[in-house]
């Protein structure tokens, strides 16, 4: 489908609501990586992904989000994006999330949902994500609901990366003295 930035300014009809209904070839210079993805690929798998793209082409579009600055931010498919950028491709196949929220927390949650549905994350990086969402005033319940975690996992990830940081500005009773 031809790329037209104005297409994202109108509200989609019910049939167009699902991003997979439209794949756009977006100029790569309008796409930027996010800075929070905790997903990593080992070198052998990265090489295999590059081989797959070389031999089979892009079989899955990159999932992006249109930001207020009119740049597209990668939500899912960072490694596919990276390979396209390194190979000097001018355009990449993308689907655009039809979300109107511009909050970073919403983008993070979407990335994590995509990643968790198919793989594993590094514990330290997931801990950073949970702590960032907490700093954005997300409740444990919202974090659990949006990222597909049970309450114990949210608590454990909160503790891994910054129990002291989370309680640094809290006032505690001195009754224990």
Q: Using one digit for the tens of pLDDT, what is the confidence trace for 81-127?
A: 999 999 999 999 999 986 665 678 888 888 888 877 666 657 777 78
- Alpha carbon separation from 164 to 54, 132, 135, 151, 152 (Å, rounded): 47, 14, 13, 19, 18
pLDDT at 160: 78
- The class that CATH gives domain 5-100 is alpha beta
* pTM of this structure: 0.64
pLDDT at 171: 63
Q: Give the model confidence (pLDDT) of 127-139 as tens digits.
A: 888 898 999 999 9
Measured CA to CA, the distance from residue 150 to residue 133 in angstroms comes to: 16
Measured CA to CA, the distance from residue 43 to residue 155 in angstroms comes to: 32
164 has a pLDDT exceeding 70? no
pLDDT at 93: 97
Q: Give the start-to-end residue ranges of the domains of the chain.
A: 5-100
Q: What percent of the chain has pLDDT over 70?
A: 75
């Amino acid at each position: 489908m031809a790329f037209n930035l104005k297409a994202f300014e109108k509200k989609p009809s019910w049939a167009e609501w699902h991003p997979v209904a439209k794949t756009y070839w977006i100029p790569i210079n309008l796409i930027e990586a996010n800075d929070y993805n905790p997903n990593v690929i080992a070198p052998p798998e990265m090489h295999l992904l590059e081989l797959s793209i070389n031999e089979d082409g892009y079989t899955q579009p990159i999932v992006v989000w249109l930001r207020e600055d009119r740049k597209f931010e990668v939500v899912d498919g960072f490694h596919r994006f990276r390979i396209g950028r390194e190979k000097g491709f001018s355009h990449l196949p993308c689907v655009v999330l039809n979300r109107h929220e511009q909050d970073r927390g919403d983008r993070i949650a979407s990335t994590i949902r995509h990643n968790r549905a198919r793989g594993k994350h590094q514990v330290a990086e997931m801990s950073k994500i949970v702590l960032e969402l907490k700093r954005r005033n997300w409740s444990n319940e919202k974090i659990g609901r949006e990222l597909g975690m049970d309450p114990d996992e949210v608590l454990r990830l909160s503790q891994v990366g910054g129990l002291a940081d989370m309680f640094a500005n809290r006032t505690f009773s001195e009754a224990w003295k």
